[in-house]
Amino acid sequence: MNYGFFENTLKTMGQIFEILKLPAAKVERLSRPDKILDFKLMVPMDDGSSREFSAWRVQYNNVLGPYKGGIRFHADSSLDEVKALAALMTWKTSLMSLPYGGGKGAIKVDPRTLSQGELERLSRAYVQAIWQDIGSQKDVPAPDVNTNSQIMDWMVDEYAKLAGKKDLAVFTGKSLANGGAAGRDKATGWGGFVVLREFLKNRPDITEKTVAIQGFGNVGSHLAKFLFDAGFKIVAISDSQGALYEPKGIDINKILSVKDKAGIIDRDVCYSLDGQGKCQIFTNDDLLFLPVDILVPAALEDQINKENVSQIKAKVILEMANGPVTQEADTVLKEKKVDVLPDILANGGGVAGSYFEWQQNLANETWLETDYLKKLEEKMIESFEAVKSTKERLNIDWRLAASARAIERVADSLS
Ligand code: NAD
């Protein structure tokens, strides 16, 4: 599925290397990972058998600080994908001005096929394989697709056993009871909100601020609440079951107060803000094509693609999901003069939030959620301003500007 992902990532990076006119030696250094750990894990199963899993950790570049990046558990994971994601993490941490490099890890597994006990043994086996290569000043993993705070807690515990010392700062994304940060669940949505708010300061033509949000999970629902509370008019939301549309605006607080534990929106409580009528039920595609000011893909990759891009009517796209706009669609959006605020910037609040968890653990502190969100806001404003000035200096679009700013910081630090 991800065949050629690293090669494609290198092609995109090549464009930036040219814009920045980087010398060949720097291009060579930035076009390959520092280190690849490629290994197999043998894990005892509940039925007494043993099963082998392919696993990886790629440390891409650490010129700005310890490698940082998630560990995903997915049946389609591959070394190619992990290398590409590790490169992208290098640029994301750089863009957020964090003292981190980039890395990524994965185990090729569908975790739904494992019992809790098997999942725990697999998570611990992964740490047994890599523990000498990670550490709070070396490489700091985090959750990613299909991994969560429980898995990070097991990993912290396993690391402590192997290293002979408890070090909470080796992993981020832990549970609150085990050194996690208050506010982390809101961090990505809050970061996206701040980026959009700053962007709109230069767009006085966008007055009504109508919004459609695809995806109402962790990222989409928190962002929706921040936007709603700030007076944006959210006219459509969706989840995997379909979309809801109400041109007068949807009361997000009401939806959130009854959103069930499975994260599915309760269609029956969706009324217009004036309480006059029930929201219309739409398909997910219909949501993407609404004539809104701001469209927010916050669910999956490749949602806006060459097949449907001609029907997009939004003025601004805030990419909260990773890779929701394909390269072909991006070219068309550029021609249509749609501003695309790229994922590396828009959802960078997630990794910035992880950085604040790491800082708290290192200093043995516990911050209030309000302080955490305030620091995150400052980080997002700083990153937005840096991208804006790079965009103006190089006369390029938001996506290129974000990557250029990120790669330039890393390149400047290379000897
Ligand atoms: P999540 O699993 O909590 O939520 C995903 C949401 O998308 C759910 O509401 C689901 O029902 C919905 N969805 C699934 N298929 C859909 C479809 N076809 N149409 C509409 N909605 C659909 O995931 P999340 O943590 O909110 O992450 C969302 C995206 O943001 C992902 O691309 C993720 O990589 C990215 N991201 C997340 C974080 C983070 O901190 N959670 C950080 C950076 C990037």
Containing H/E element for 157?
helix 149-163
Q: Is 148 in the pocket of ligand 1 (CB under 6 A)?
A: no
Nearest to 294 by CA among 241, 220, 242: 220
Which of 144, 221, 240 to probe ligand 1 with, by most ligand atoms within 8 A of CB?
A: 240
Residue 220 is predicted with a pLDDT of 96
Q: Which atom of ligand 1 is nearest to the CA of 324?
A: 32
81-113 residue pLDDT tens: 999 999 999 999 999 999 999 999 999 999 999
Query: Tokens representing 376?
Result: 């995150």
Please give the distance, rounded to the nearest whole angstrom, from the Cα atom of residue 216 to the centre of ligand 1: 7
Measured in degrees and rounded to the nearest 5, phi and psi for residue 266 equal -85, 110
Atom of ligand 1 nearest to the CA of 303: 18
Task: Give which of 326, 400, 347, 317 is closest to 89, Cα–Cα.
Answer: 347
Q: How far is the CA of 350 from the centre of ligand 1 (A)?
A: 13
146 lines ligand 1 (CB under 6 A): no
Residue nearest atom 32 of ligand 1, based on CA coordinates: 321
Looking at residue 268, what is its pLDDT? 82
Residues of the chain with pLDDT under 50: 1-3
Cα Rg of the chain, angstroms: 21
- With the most atoms of ligand 1 within 8 angstroms of its CB, the residue from 73, 226, 300 to mutate is 300
215 C-alpha to center of ligand 1: Å? 6
Ligand 1 atom closest to 353 (CA): 40
- CB of 347 sitting under 6 A from ligand 1: yes
DSSP state of 263: -
The pLDDT value given to residue 262: 56
Give yes or no for residue 322 CB within 6 A of ligand 1: yes
Given the CA of residue 284, which atom of ligand 1 is nearest to it? 19
Verdict on whether the full-model pTM lies above 0.85: yes
Structural tokens at position 183: 């506010």
Contacts of 193 (CB under 8 A, 6+ apart): 223, 226, 227, 230
What is the 217 CA–ligand 1 centroid distance (Å)?
Answer: 5
302 CA from centroid of ligand 1 (Å): 13
Q: How many alpha carbons fall within 13 Å on the CB side of residue 333? A: 29
Average pLDDT of every residue of the chain: 95
CA atoms of 106 and 72, how far apart (whole Å) = 5
pLDDT of residue 266: 81
Q: Which of 104, 174, 186, 233 is catalytic?
A: 104
pLDDT value for 359: 98
What pLDDT is stored for residue 1 in this prediction? 46
pLDDT number for residue 261: 53
pLDDT confidence of residue 141: 98
Q: Which residue has its alpha carbon closest to ligand 1 atom 17? A: 240
User: Is 108 assigned a catalytic role?
Assistant: no
CA of 303 to the centre of ligand 1 (A): 12
For residue range 22-37, what is the model confidence (pLDDT) as tens digits?
999 999 999 999 999 9
User: Which atom of ligand 1 has the smallest separation from the CA of 301?
Assistant: 32
